[in-house]
Structure 1
Amino acid sequence: MERDEFFTTDEKELLFSLYRKLLQLTGETLQKGDCRKLKTHLINSIKDNRVQRDTFGLNPLVKDMQTAVIVAEEIGMKRASILGIMLHESVRNGACTTEEVQAAFGEDVAGIIRGLIRVNELYSKSPTIESENFRNLLLSFAEDMRVILIMIADRVNIMRQIKDSKNDEARRQVANEAAYLYAPLAHKLGLYKLKSELEDLSLKYTEKDVYYHIKDKLNETKASRDKYIAAFIAPMQKKLEESGLHFHIKGRTKSIHSIYQKMKKQKCPFEGVYDLFAIRIILVSQVEKEKQECWQAYSIVTDMYQPNPKRLRDWLSVPKSNGYESLHITVMGPESKWVEVQIRTERMDDIAERGLAAHWRYKGVKGETGLDEWLTSVREALENSDSNGLEAMDQFKLDLYEDEVFVFTPKGDLFKLGKGATVLDFAFHIHSKLGCKCIGAKVNGKNAQLRQVLNSGDQVEIMTSNTQTPKQDWLNIVTSSKARTKIRQALKEMVARQHAFAKETIERKFKNRKIEYDEAVMMRLIKRLGFKTVTEFYQSIADETLDVNEIIDKYLEQQRRENDAHDDITYRSAEGYNLQQTQNDDITRSKEDVLVIDQNLKGLDFKLARCCNPIYGDDVFGFVTVTGGIKIHRSDCPNATQLRERFGYRIVKARWAGKSKGTQYPITLRVVGHDDIGIVTNITSIISKENDITLRSIGIDSHDGLFSGTMTIMVGDTGRLETLIKKLRTVKGVKQVVRG
């Protein structure tokens, strides 16, 4: 069957082992001649070097057969899916056509292959993994939902096979996609075991230290955990047996990824995660007695252990919309520890573990209108596998996506818009500046006007002109509230610029006539002249309905009126304190200031991100920008999560090396304290005494006896910064000091 040089000895053994397993799993659904015809196609596909190994050196035929086993064993799909997986590479490399496959194996198999090829083309067209949009586009473009299930199984298989790969960069990219694209897809489709495996393996490949830290902790605590579970179960098991129920009990430990998410959410160490496991009571029960026996078991458990009524989840009386049924209760076990107990029957457990629609909204995954019914129909269609079921599934898919269109940029970036969106909507969706300068577009290479309506799959290139400005009638062209808001904002900004010009004109005239400009006097004059707002006043000057020289004469008259002798008591607030030091924005780096980026590369050009202002000593990572440069962000940067989620493949490792001596970085500190000029003097005094720390600027805002100060300082590294923050917190009256 194979050329000897294409298969290693181990691969041959594995191939035949997988083949036997596949026959065992799907034998009853295969038709006469399927195996013989499949063998012929595979032999043809490896002739003339048509089939090549992938980035990780994996043999595609072995990989496809492993994926087929996952699809058959863990998802429960049969003949059409298995043959589609095994044959799609042959069609892609030209060894055979979809027409030939259709003639030999039927339309069902050919349809799956068309879907797999189409999604692969789509995937290569859009390198950006913007998870929600890309997931939705995959779902809407796949001709058959089985295609999506096969893609998930294929990614699980790849993640299992690349643990020893030396291509760390490719493995990291595959792992990021698994976390942000495939795991949420698996979650939506209720493939819960596969979803957990994808998340755990992704964590293992992207944050190895974290993964093994939690794994080691789980291993360390396993003995005590097992002992506790046994002590919890023993008396409960005895009571359940005495009641005459037939059942088995198993303990389920949280996945490593779930534990890590909980540690991050609760900001606690491993030891702080108390609900590491759940106890599952699975009853062997007849369908008509299921509810009765589940509530009987519930009664026995809650009689023995104190329940937490707020944590009762009754999906028995009213099952979830996707068919999930179970009773969840949290009880106080020995040593005052909370334990989650799940009560369900074997039928319910099977749906929960393997059903395609189960758990799709579990723990905060937000669904879309109609998705629950749609996924339920997917499950039923796959279980029944009749044509009517598949037609119903396609109809639900059409209903689900009828209100959305998916549009590409020329670079392949993907955006989701509402149905009826125009070229102008798209321009403002990308960026308000692009929208404001938009004069039209090229849609699929053809010129299009601002009001042209877009369709799914359109490739749109926005055309701009520097002379273009937003127009009032644009509000009638756009359909999205987002675009309308941006247009209104742009129109307001145009008016604001006119007003700024008017104000600047007045101030310049004041300067020319050597008159001191007092904002307060001007405000009172504006009110006296009958203007309700300052905006109206400046608009009158911009429209030239008011003469600036006339305004100045009236201003001088107003000032003379107010210069009657009277004493004002001035409250001396911290807000009156202001310091600005002009200093070049550029950070001077010494030769010793070095970042090691990605795989021990030094000397690469990089910039420090302004959103988080990293300094020497911070945990950092690199982000490859569109222009090819590298921006360095702090690991706890407010934008870090979004960057990893949307552009995981552009993240590179970075760490500080060398010394920070001679290098200074701008850092923003926010200080809150009692409103007193003395407190500011004390703060600036402390900073001035620190070596190698310079105060660049300080701005103060006071309110209700408190002041809020924002300081920009130049500092060399995190050690000096932390020392300074500790000293500032000791100043009398200072309530809070935080880094911006």
Structure 2
Amino acid sequence: MNRQFDDLLEKLKAQDPSTNEKLVRDAYDFSMKAHGSQLRASGDPYFTHPLAVSQILTDLRMDHQSVITGFLHDTIEDTLVSFEEIKERFGPDIAHLVDGVTKLSQLELQSEHTKQAENFRKLVLAMSSDIRVLIIKLADRLHNMRTLHYITSDEKKRRISRETMDIYAPLAERMGMKKLKDELEDIAFSYLNPEARESLQSRLNFLYENADYTVEAIIEDIMRALKEHHMTAVVNGRQKTPYSIWHKMQHKRIAFEQLSDIMAFRIVVNSIAECYQALGALHNQYLVLPGRFKDYISTPKPNGYQSLHTGLIGPFNSRIEIQIRTKEMHSIAEYGIAAHWQYKQDFSHDGKQYAWLRGLLDILEQTTNPEEFMEHTRLEMFQDQVFCFTPKGDLISLPRGATSIDFAYAVHSAIGDHATAVKINGRLMPLRTVLNNGDQVDIVTSKTQNPSPTWERFVVTGKARSRIRKFVRLLQRDQFSNLGKSIVQKAFNHENAEFTEKGMERVARHFKYQHIDDLYAAVGQGIHTPREVLQIALPDFKTGQKPSLEEELTKKKLQSSINKDKDSSISIKGLISGMAVHFSGCCHPLPGDKIVGIVKTGKGVAIHTTDCDVVKTFKETDRLLDLSWGDYLTPDDKFVGRLKATFINKQGSLATFSTVISKQNGNIVNLKITNRTLHFWDLILDVEVKNVEHINSIIASLRTLPITNFIDRM
């Protein structure tokens, strides 16, 4: 055990001359005594784990403070050692690192799924103050995965492996720590899908045993090609892990035989200029696989990775991948963020390598639910990248499939919130347009614009989705609250009873709401009916026999006509469709129609016309609302009206129909041919209009056509 520590210390001092050797030895001794006779699941002394974690951190070329934290990271959680004791002996920096790692494990939540999500949320918070917390946690997870076979429960092994695959491997990739990421994924894969991994490993073994060439022979031939162009370089080769092969087969939907990069070779040169020189030499020597060249030097990955990638039909007609990079690029490719200590670069949170972390923190601000946060961050981490440019030339990296709205939120949250239009490469395009590599994107904004609930259907980044959801959630609550208050007030008017805020506070306390706005929102959502509120607010309120639907409607309309200044109908003015109210697709109500609302539990109010069949058969009169449009309309408001038509089947008939609708300022949003014969077509058309008068005007115009056999609203 002492020999292992001595080797670690020598390696650490060689990498970090400023290492405090005495402090490292003290941490080693302190941790070993603190863990005492504790044992691991393998039966080994528990201290073998912190020692192994510190060895991993040393191999990652981390500073001595991180290595010391590796020794101490389990002492607060698993021994009698306190935070104050570590702070006193090893200083505040190391104490806070140990505390950051410790807090990630101290979670006692009900479900494993929630625990995983909350764990990830705490991890993001911890690493935002010091990124080394995450690196230490990754080293801790790597050693736990290496010793996972000692755990007897298969279910526990799969759960830990799934958590590793979902959380820690993607984070390692975002940190640029590819070697660590590959090992985490491959070990997890062996427990999650052992049959597939064994099959792939067998095929890889067979491939190498029966090949007409060796990796060494390919390296020798590549070096010969470089020497012919007067270049010296370090060349090495590796085979991909079974999981990385499996992932590519799944993602690209290709067979094992179609893979061109089962073998990857790295060429390390002295300068960026030599990278491109080496690329030219290899392309001159070997056949190039089309579509396989990628320049990550001019456009680095978000984690800082830089290399030239190319696919070749290489020596011995082998399909290989070549990665060309400088020594510094190679170190960053191998060790990721950890390599920055070696190069003594400015390691501030303002660097580009932290853009993804700032993105996660921004999502965290918008999301209170841990599981929702994890959903959004998975979107951020699991997808390939596309690179787009602002009009000023700033590079924005986004997940593949990202839209203009995702781009807007990536530039700044305020730009996303107020986006109204987009110009892509100088051309006006829809906001839902999917972006491609190299697009120049110019977002047009307006102070009066707000996020639309429909945006959530097509955005792909977690930041955009969390921001939209937060806005919708807040606006929807306001809508429910305003609607609920109107419903309650009308219920009191209906009973000729006095409505007071004080009385509502008593009702809110009865239903255990902290504020009356919460009560109003619950009524607006349909969680409580006005009758339930009246029963609590008015002690003398008689529940009695519920009137029939016909009696209820008649009573409401009669009261409305008798007492105009005390109209019992509820105005839907100011309520946005898709929030607290939504227009039913069965009858497509339009301004000008007489309307009623049906309160659906948890969903708000569905608006129907009074003669809709759904309303006629509805039996719960408590959930029926007499509605009015109020001065609902603005010049830009559009509604969908549905038409049923039969017209003569002749050339140009459909064009004539659509032209008439267009001339009447209508817009066809959907069209369905329900029947077609030799002489007639039956159609259902959904048309955007302003109100009943507008759609009636369209119907009248269509009826004048000689081709029209029948047309009317459905």
Structure-1-length-normalised TM-score: 0.51
Any idea what SS the aligned residue of 2:580 has? helix
2:2 aligned to 12, 16, 25, which one?
Answer: 16
The residue number in structure 2 matching 1:282 is: 268
The residue number in structure 2 matching 1:324 is: 305
Letter in 1 for 2:182: S
The residue number in structure 2 matching 1:79 is: 64
The residue number in structure 2 matching 1:384 is: 344
Inter-CA distance 505–197: structure 2 relative to 1 (3 Å threshold):
closer
Letter in 1 for 2:580: I
Shift of 1:123: 7.9
Shift of 1:216: 0.6
Q: Contact (CA 8 Å) 1:471, 1:491: kept in 2 or not?
A: no
* Aligned residue pairs, count: 458
Q: Quick check: 1:312 aligned with 2:293? A: yes
Q: Partners in 2 of 1:704 and 1:141 — Cα distance?
A: 69
Letter in 2 for 1:138: L
2:185 aligned to 199, 209, 213, which one?
Answer: 199
Q: Partners in 1 of 2:330 and 2:205 — Cα distance?
A: 27
The residue number in structure 2 matching 1:296 is: 277
2:76 aligned to 74, 91, 96, which one?
Answer: 91
The residue number in structure 1 matching 2:196 is: 210
Q: Quick check: 1:186 aligned with 2:172? A: yes
Query: What does the per-residue CA deviation read over 1:681-728, in whole Å, with 9 as the maximum and x for residues that have no partner?
Result: xxxxxxxxxxxxxxxxxxx987899xxxxxxxxxxxxxxxxxxxxxxx
Query: What does the per-residue CA deviation read over 1:246-286, in whole Å, with 9 as the maximum and x for residues that have no partner?
Result: 22322222221121122223444433434312222223x3x
Shift of 1:78: 2.5
Judge which range, 274-283 or 167-176, deviates more.
274-283
2:88 aligned to 103, 108, 111, which one?
Answer: 103
The residue number in structure 1 matching 2:135 is: 149
Inter-CA distance 45–464: structure 2 relative to 1 (3 Å threshold):
farther
Inter-CA distance 344–486: structure 2 relative to 1 (3 Å threshold):
same
Any idea what SS the aligned residue of 2:74 has? helix
Q: Partners in 1 of 2:321 and 2:640 — Cα distance?
A: 63
Inter-CA distance 22–704: structure 2 relative to 1 (3 Å threshold):
farther
Shift of 1:146: 0.8
Q: Partners in 1 of 2:580 and 2:120 — Cα distance?
A: 30
Any idea what SS the aligned residue of 2:47 has? helix
Q: Partners in 2 of 1:336 and 1:296 — Cα distance?
A: 23
Shift of 1:348: 2.3
Q: Quick check: 1:121 aligned with 2:106? A: yes
Q: Contact (CA 8 Å) 2:261, 2:311: kept in 1 or not?
A: no
Q: Partners in 2 of 1:30 and 1:268 — Cα distance?
A: 49
Q: Contact (CA 8 Å) 1:381, 1:393: kept in 2 or not?
A: no
Inter-CA distance 435–200: structure 2 relative to 1 (3 Å threshold):
farther
Shift of 1:412: 11
Letter in 2 for 1:293: E
Any idea what SS the aligned residue of 1:262 has? helix
Inter-CA distance 126–33: structure 2 relative to 1 (3 Å threshold):
farther
Greater relative contact order (Cα < 8 A, sep 6+): 1
Q: Contact (CA 8 Å) 2:104, 2:122: kept in 1 or not?
A: no
Any idea what SS the aligned residue of 1:344 has? strand
Q: Partners in 2 of 1:193 and 1:389 — Cα distance?
A: 24
Matches within 5 A, 1:68-467: 68-73=54-59, 75-93=60-78, 95-122=80-107, 127-128=112-113, 135=120, 138-142=123-127, 143-225=129-211, 227=213, 229=215, 232-283=218-269, 285=270, 290-308=271-289, 310-317=291-298, 319=300, 323-333=304-314, 338-356=319-337, 380=340, 384=344, 389=348, 401-402=361-362, 404-405=364-365, 418=466, 425=473, 447=514, 465-467=527-529
Shift of 1:125: 7.7
Q: Partners in 2 of 1:433 and 1:203 — Cα distance?
A: 47
Q: Partners in 1 of 2:571 and 2:263 — Cα distance?
A: 60
Inter-CA distance 36–504: structure 2 relative to 1 (3 Å threshold):
closer
Q: Partners in 2 of 1:391 and 1:381 — Cα distance?
A: 16
Q: Partners in 1 of 2:516 and 2:467 — Cα distance?
A: 17
Letter in 2 for 1:255: T
Query: What does the per-residue CA deviation read over 1:497-553, in whole Å, with 9 as the maximum and x for residues that have no partner?
Result: 563873338988xxxxxxxxxxxxxxxxxxxxxxx999799xxxxxxxxxxxxxxxx
Q: Partners in 2 of 1:380 and 1:329 — Cα distance?
A: 26
1:66 aligned to 49, 52, 55, which one?
Answer: 52
Any idea what SS the aligned residue of 2:49 has? helix
Any idea what SS the aligned residue of 1:331 has? strand
Letter in 2 for 1:503: C
Letter in 2 for 1:92: E
Shift of 1:81: 1.4
Q: Partners in 2 of 1:282 and 1:487 — Cα distance?
A: 61
Query: What does the per-residue CA deviation read over 1:429-456, in whole Å, with 9 as the maximum and x for residues that have no partner?
Result: 9xx99999999999xx99367689xxxx
Inter-CA distance 466–423: structure 2 relative to 1 (3 Å threshold):
farther
The residue number in structure 2 matching 1:487 is: 580
Query: What does the per-residue CA deviation read over 1:165-220, in whole Å, with 9 as the maximum and x for residues that have no partner?
Result: 32211111111111111100101101101111111111101111111000011001
Q: Partners in 2 of 1:68 and 1:179 — Cα distance?
A: 23
Inter-CA distance 120–489: structure 2 relative to 1 (3 Å threshold):
farther
Any idea what SS the aligned residue of 2:237 has? strand
Letter in 1 for 2:56: I
Inter-CA distance 231–533: structure 2 relative to 1 (3 Å threshold):
closer
Q: Contact (CA 8 Å) 1:437, 1:466: kept in 2 or not?
A: no
Q: Contact (CA 8 Å) 2:19, 2:64: kept in 1 or not?
A: yes
Shift of 1:69: 0.8
Q: Partners in 1 of 2:279 and 2:639 — Cα distance?
A: 68
Letter in 1 for 2:90: F
Any idea what SS the aligned residue of 1:60 has? coil
The residue number in structure 1 matching 2:20 is: 31
Shift of 1:34: 2.3
Q: Partners in 1 of 2:142 and 2:332 — Cα distance?
A: 21
Q: Contact (CA 8 Å) 2:480, 2:525: kept in 1 or not?
A: no
Any idea what SS the aligned residue of 1:465 has? coil
Q: Partners in 2 of 1:487 and 1:116 — Cα distance?
A: 43
Inter-CA distance 267–475: structure 2 relative to 1 (3 Å threshold):
same
Q: Partners in 1 of 2:483 and 2:303 — Cα distance?
A: 45
Inter-CA distance 17–448: structure 2 relative to 1 (3 Å threshold):
farther
Shift of 1:35: 5.0
Query: What does the per-residue CA deviation read over 1:11-60, in whole Å, with 9 as the maximum and x for residues that have no partner?
Result: xxxx434323322233455436425643553355246x7x5646x76643
Q: Partners in 1 of 2:353 and 2:291 — Cα distance?
A: 40
Q: Contact (CA 8 Å) 2:35, 2:79: kept in 1 or not?
A: no
Judge which range, 141-150 or 114-123, deviates more.
114-123
Structure 1 residues without counterparts, runs of 5 or longer? 1-14, 357-377, 453-461, 477-483, 509-531, 538-567, 570-699, 706-740
Letter in 2 for 1:211: R
Structure 2 residues without counterparts, runs of 5 or longer? 377-464, 486-503, 534-569, 587-596, 599-604, 618-637, 650-672, 679-714
Inter-CA distance 149–471: structure 2 relative to 1 (3 Å threshold):
farther
Shift of 1:130: 9.5
Q: Quick check: 1:41 aligned with 2:35? A: no
The residue number in structure 2 matching 1:652 is: none
Shift of 1:154: 1.0
Any idea what SS the aligned residue of 1:120 has? coil
Q: Percent identity?
A: 23
Any idea what SS the aligned residue of 1:111 has? helix
Q: Partners in 1 of 2:353 and 2:320 — Cα distance?
A: 42
Q: CA RMSD in A?
A: 5.2
Inter-CA distance 80–123: structure 2 relative to 1 (3 Å threshold):
farther
Any idea what SS the aligned residue of 1:275 has? coil
Q: Contact (CA 8 Å) 2:189, 2:197: kept in 1 or not?
A: yes
Inter-CA distance 424–348: structure 2 relative to 1 (3 Å threshold):
closer
Inter-CA distance 218–435: structure 2 relative to 1 (3 Å threshold):
farther
